Chains A and B, each alone.
Chain A
Amino acid sequence: MESNKRGWTTQWAGIAVLALFALLPLVKTSDYQLTVANNVLLWAVFAMSFNMLFGVTGMLSFGQALYFGFGAYSVGLFAYYQGTWWFLPALFLGMAGSGILALLIGPLVLRLTGVYFTMLTLAFAQLGWGIVVKWYDFTNGDDGIQGIMPPAALSNKVVYYYFCLVLVSVSVWFLWRISRSPFGLMLRCIRQNPSRVRFLGRRVKRNQLRIYVISAVFTALAGGLMAGVDNSVHTGMWYWTTSGEVILMSILGGMGQFFGPFVGAAIMILIEDMVGARTEFWSMVIGIVMLTMVILLPKGVVGELVQLKERLFKRSSALGV
Chain B
Amino acid sequence: MQRNSWSVFLAVVVALAVLPSHVWAQEKVIKIGAIYPMTGRAGLYGMDSVAAMEMAMEEINAKGGVAGYKLDALSTDSKVKPDYSVRIAKRYIEEDKVHFLFGVVSSGVGLAVTEVSKQYKKIFIGTDHAATELTVDNFQPYYFRVSNNTFQSMAAGAIYLKELQAQKPWKRIAYIGPDYAYGHSQWNELRYCLDRLGVQYEVAGEHWPKLAQPDYTPFITTIMKDKPDILVSGFWGGDTVAFIKQAIPYGLLKNVLYFHPDAGGNYELMSSMGDELPDGLVLSARHHNNWPDTELNRKFVGDFFKRTGRYPSYAAEGAYAGVYAIAYAVEKVGNPDDADALVKALEGMKLKLPEDPEGFTSYMDPDTHQIVQMQAIGVTMPNADFPPAKKMLGNWKIYKAEDLLPPKEYIEMKRKK
Contact = CB atoms under 8 A, between A and B. Distances in A.
B179 A133 contact: yes
Interface string A41-85: 000000000000000000000000000000000000000000000
A18 B369 CA distance: 45
Interface stretch (A108-116, A171-179, A265-273): A265-273
Given A146-B112, A266-B13, A12 B82 contact: no
A288 interface: no
Given A21-B14, A29-B20, A141 B112 contact: no
A283 to B, nearest CB: 7
B165 to A, nearest CB: 30
A154 to B, nearest CB: 15
Interface stretch (A31-39, A98-106, A190-198): A31-39
A20 B138 CA distance: 39
A273 B21 contact: yes
Contacts of A274: 16, 21
Nearest to A72: B83
Interface in B271-293: none
Interface in B118-168: 118-119, 131, 133, 138
A32 B38 contact: no
B18 A276 contact: no
Interface in A111-145: 133-134, 136, 140-144
A147 interface: yes
| Residue from A13, A147, A230, A274 with most neighbouring chain B CB atoms (10 Å) | A230
Contacts of A16: 3, 6-7, 10
Interface residues of B, number: 51
A270 B111 contact: no
B87 interface: yes
B172 interface: no
A230 B21 contact: no
Interface in B1-47: 2-3, 5-7, 9-11, 13-14, 16-18, 20-22, 38-39
Nearest to A226: B83
B180 A142 contact: yes
A30 B17 CA distance: 12
Interface stretch (A158-166, A212-220, A232-240): A232-240
B76 A9 contact: no
A144 B108 contact: yes
A141 B133 CA distance: 13
B16 A277 contact: no
27 contacts: A13-B10, A20-B10, A20-B14, A29-B18, A30-B20, A30-B94, A32-B90, A32-B94, A32-B95, A33-B20, A36-B87, A142-B181, A143-B108, A143-B181, A146-B111, A230-B86, A232-B83, A234-B108, A236-B83, A263-B13, A267-B13, A270-B17, A273-B91, A276-B79, A277-B91, A305-B9, A309-B5
When A and B form their complex, which 8 residue pairs have the shortest distance between CB atoms, in order from nearest?
Answer: A142-B180, A32-B94, A280-B38, A280-B77, A146-B115, A234-B82, A30-B94, A13-B6
